[in-house]
A and B are shown apart, each in its own frame.
Chain A
Amino acid sequence: MSATEHGWLGKLSWESLVFSNFLESPSINEAVASAAGSLVILASIAILGLLTWYRLWGPLWRDWLTSTDHKKIGIMYIVFAIVMLVRGLLEGMVMRAQQAAAPDGFLHADHFAQLFSTHGTIMVFFVAVPFLVGLINFAMPLQIGARDVAFPVLNQISLAVTVSSGILLMVSLVVGQFSTGGWSAYPPYTGGDFSPGVGPDYWIWAIVFSGAGTTLTGINFTVTVYKCRGPGMHLFRMPLFCWTVLCASILMIFAMPPLSVAALMLGLDRYLDFHFFTNDLGGNMMNYANLFWLFGHPEVYLLVLPAYGIFSEVFSTYSAKTLYGYKSLVIATMCIAILSFTVWLHHFFTMGQSPTINIAFGIATMLIAVPTGVKVYDWMATMYRGRIRFTTPMVYAIGFLILFVIGGLSGVILANPTVDFQVHNTLFLVAHFHNVLIPGVLFGILAGYNYWFPKAFGFRLNDKLGRLSAYLWFAGFMLTFFPLYVAGLLGMPRRSFTYADLTFKPYMIVAFIGAMVVLAALITLVVQFLVSIRDRHKTRVPVGDPWDGRSLEWASPAPVPAYNFVELPTVTDRDEFSEAKEHGRAYQRPKNYRDIELPKNNPLGFILCVTSGILMFALVWYIWWLALISALAILIAVIASTFRKETEYIIPASQLEKDTEAWLALVEKSEAVSRDLEDSPRNVGYSKLEL
């Protein structure tokens, strides 16, 4: 294990490159791997080339990479998550193709194992989390009437380490092999004795660094919601989304440490010959399972709570009604957040502990269904007699309501230990968690994307294509995952690259067809994006309020200026912007203009992104000198940045006056449109009062 065993490049050699395997022993399996590797390289070259061609390096650096603006950081999170989403979905489809083709599939067992490991890791840590963090970053400070998050530079750092971990996963496609131990990476299989390669090390460092980023994000958001609300914004006047953000952030703070500990201990086992989870010398792998799920269960609520928040905003906005049962929704959210710390054992009912313990955790698990049920009824009651418009976000929300309840019910079934003993580790479980993650989290994310897009970029997304994509998602999801419930009940194990029992085959074929529908949905999403950019002149909403929004983020122009609000609004009620519009307090000229101070650009995030990426790569490949240098670089960069004196810049009052007067003039001459015209070119973001 010492450095002397390897050369100065550690374990790295030409054989580590994915292409060398293909050249040595060409097969479809290797071709798929090489194609994926080439795709990564070609895409990177293309991006670098385009940036150079259009001379975008300067603007990219000034406006994005060094920006401390929460909106821009949010957008960068989302761009990153979308890239990872594409990769994750493609991996899912390759796996579905393999299982549909089995018993004569085209992938080797190891390659299939890498696919489900990266797919799971990516979907959870590099799609769901960063997409939600991005949306929260964008919307939450606007909703609570703040200028930025509590710690803008910290925000940058969180993004930096998340992205560098994601890039590490991309690199693993080209250099070496990723872990074959699943997204949960259970030892002893992932320990040094059984996985001597670099795979688990890729997993460990990606998890440790992105986990640190998520923890810091949690701290940042908690403090922002708790301490940085604008004047008059009492906790119980916050939009529900902010409540869910607060609870999810608390989960980040308290649930990420067990994961970091588990991954670091696994690393100690692998790198320094510790015996936390080994089979010999007193190690105990059950400790890992326990640690992992101490994190794992709160994690799923960390994902779904903000999605609930998005749906709450969507139901209320597109029903043109205040949210029904606001207080009960808040209390339900808090209950879920706390209960989510008391159920982790349901992921290892079969470990061998006593039935008493299983029953205790089984009951705790079922209890979570109660607050969730409360929420479902509240959302339905919000729609009742509302002025409902079936726009894209609303379509997602209704699909969520129906499909998520099914997924939740299959969860209640699994919460029963006796049932779980039967279907544990089968595709029934895979069906269950996709059934909560896709309608719950992914639909929430896509609803939020369609909902807030015009706020971020100043023009609406094409609604027709958006709805088409949503319906394709529904169909694709149902076709892909409902058959897996049956296959699971028939006993088909999860994570199997092939099977001998042909009873499973028809289900796998249907699931593959479903995956192709999902692919169509993904393509539609891309087309929607491109078409919307082409048609942007017809869909601009500069006034800023295209959906007759109810909360403060709609009170400013679209796109939102760097300073968010010329004058921080004084909040008097829940649904503040609705109230303001109703009582003629919206679109008012501020009493006087005053300079605004904002955090300056800072290169720290970018520096840390690069250095932490190099550090992780060096650690994975045992290149100790490089690891040392990059670790020192990180330390020096952080210390040096604390010596900066001028950390703020000022936007002068004259500039504010100019911007605001122009915007108010625009409001003056714009036509207020009714809800029927929401999707027409006449909607410039000025909503007519319809009482």
Chain B
Amino acid sequence: MANEPSFAQHLRSYITGYILSVVLTLAAFAAVLTIGRENKSVLLLVALLGIAQLVVQLKYFLNVTTQREYRDNLALVAFSTLILLIIVLGTVWIMGNLAVRMHATM
């Protein structure tokens, strides 16, 4: 680990991640509490803010970046995300469709 970042650099990375996360969290709460009362599409915004925060924390806290050193982790996370999406979206698709056809509330 020759080009290990300095103490201050390291610390700065965590603090940047923290500040960005706080901002994104505040934005999500604010969005839901203001527009969320009548408008369901606020969830789209919440989703975007959530994904942004995931990316921020992955980068600044968990060091999942495209840097060579961390590429194994990146590949692992990407593959896991693929499987996660297949499982979650597939489940929602199937069960949602079933609910519609059974006139059930879902």
Contact = CB atoms under 8 A, between A and B. Distances in A.
Q: Do chains A and B touch in the complex (CB under 8 A)?
A: yes
Given A352-B101, A354-B97, A341 B91 contact: no
Contact of B102 (A254, A290, A344, A352): A352
Given A254-B80, A254-B83, A341-B83, A353 B91 contact: no
Interface string A328-361: 0000000000000110110000011110010000
Nearest to A344: B90
* Best-buried of B79, B90, B91, B97 by chain A (most CB within 10 Å): B90
Given A290-B94, A290-B95, A357-B94, A341 B101 contact: no
Contact of A353 (B83, B86, B98): B98
Given A352-B101, A353-B97, A357-B97, A290 B91 contact: yes
B98 A351 contact: yes
A175 interface: no
Interface string A400-415: 0000000000000000
A430 interface: no
Given A352-B101, A352-B102, A354-B101, A345 B86 contact: no
A27 interface: no
Given A258-B87, A341-B87, A353 B94 contact: yes
A651 to B, nearest CB: 31
Contacts of B97: 353-354, 357
A344 B83 CA distance: 13
B98 A286 contact: yes
Nearest to B99: A284
A587 B106 CA distance: 67
Interface residues on A, range: 10 to 19
Contacts of B86: 341-342
Contacts, number: 36
B74 to A, nearest CB: 14
A343 to B, nearest CB: 10
B29 interface: no
Interface string A271-303: 000000000000010110010001000000000
What does DSSP make chain A's interface, helix, strand, loop or mixed? helix
A287 B101 CA distance: 15
Contacts of B87: 258, 294, 341
Contacts of A286: 95, 98
Contact of B101 (A254, A294, A345, A353): A353
Interface residues of B, number: 15
Nearest to A222: B76
B71 to A, nearest CB: 13
Nearest to A298: B83
A439 to B, nearest CB: 29
B93 interface: yes
A345 B94 CA distance: 9
Nearest to B104: A284
Nearest to A255: B83
Interface in B57-106: 72, 79-80, 83, 86-87, 90-91, 93-95, 97-98, 101-102
A351 B91 CA distance: 13
Contacts of A353: 94, 97-98, 101
B91 A294 contact: yes
B102 to A, nearest CB: 7
Contacts of B93: 357
Given A341-B86, A352-B101, A352-B102, A287 B95 contact: yes
A438 B77 CA distance: 35
Contacts of B79: 250
9 contacts: A290-B91, A294-B87, A294-B90, A341-B87, A342-B90, A345-B90, A353-B94, A354-B97, A357-B93
Given A290-B91, A341-B87, 5 more contacts: A226-B72, A294-B90, A341-B83, A342-B86, A353-B97
Interface of A: 226, 250, 254, 258, 284, 286-287, 290, 294, 341-342, 344-345, 351-354, 357
Interface of B: 72, 79-80, 83, 86-87, 90-91, 93-95, 97-98, 101-102
The 8 residue pairs across chains A and B that have the minimum distance between CB atoms: A353-B97, A254-B83, A353-B98, A341-B86, A354-B97, A353-B94, A290-B91, A352-B98
